Structure 1
Amino acid sequence: MTALLSRALTSDVVFWGPLGRSEGIAAVERFVLDIRHHPAGTGTMARCSEVDVPDEWARYRWVFATPDGGPRLVGTDVVHLRRSLIDQVVVFAGEIEPLAP
């Protein structure tokens, strides 16, 4: 998996995930492997929106689901691009609540 991630990420990528800040391709790989071995069961994470790319920033929505209809999680990732590679990833998990009237 490291070789595949190296094609998309800079070696010094900064990853802001649910557990805080980490750096490097190995940190992103650990997160991906943790998702694949989720306590609710092996699930899949898939992009569920178009990718919005205004200049060097991009954002997209994703969904994580287990095959047996277990917990479903949605979120948005925001990434920064440097020389066509991702050098920052920010993971926002969950829905954003609407403003109260």
Structure 2
Amino acid sequence: MPEGTAQSAIDTFISAFNASSGTCVIDLPSQALTSDVVLWGPLGRGEGSEAVERFVLDIRRHPAGTGTTTRCSEVDMPDEWARYEWVFATPDDGPRLAGTDIVHLRRSLIDQIIVFGGEPEPSS
């Protein structure tokens, strides 16, 4: 599978975190994910697009305010697996998270997401 196909699915998924409306949060992932997607996240394992929607909505409801999520690396794709780094930041220099996601693609759609995230290392 070409890296451009994976990057497109990944960027569509990430755009749900930054969507201007709740409807887009539901619509955008459905364009990038299989209906039986499996999410391995910080709170455990979830199955189906509804689990991913809940995860995205939970991040968007951060107590420090609505933040933005940005892919901050190239997509590295050996065969049907891809990985990328991301950063989440809230307004006014609020809490930040950073991490690496690993995704598996099937027929140009993400069918597994493994989220590794935490507080970023301080810059030196």
Question: What is the TM-score when the length of structure 2 is the normalising length?
Answer: 0.73
Query: Counterpart of 2:75?
Result: 51
Choose from 87, 90, 95 the match for 1:63: 87
SS of equivalent to 2:62? coil
Percent of pairs with identical residues: 78
CA distance in 1: counterparts of 2:97 and 2:46, whole angstroms: 22
2:100 corresponds to 1:73: no
**Maintained 8 Å contact 2:98/2:120:** no
CA distance in 2: counterparts of 1:42 and 1:6, whole angstroms: 22
CA distance in 2: counterparts of 1:2 and 1:73, whole angstroms: 22
CA distance in 2: counterparts of 1:44 and 1:53, whole angstroms: 24
Contiguous gaps of at least 5 residues in structure 1? none
How big is the alpha-carbon RMSD for the aligned residues of Structure 1 and Structure 2?
Answer: 1.7
Deviations 1:48-71 (A, max 9, x none): 111111110000000010121011
Q: Quick check: 17-26 or 88-97, which moved more?
A: 88-97
CA distance in 2: counterparts of 1:15 and 1:73, whole angstroms: 18
Moved over 3 A (4+): none
How big is the shift at 1:83?
Answer: 1.1
- The structure carrying a bigger helix percent of its residues is 2
Choose from 22, 36, 39 the match for 1:12: 36
Query: Counterpart of 2:45?
Result: 21
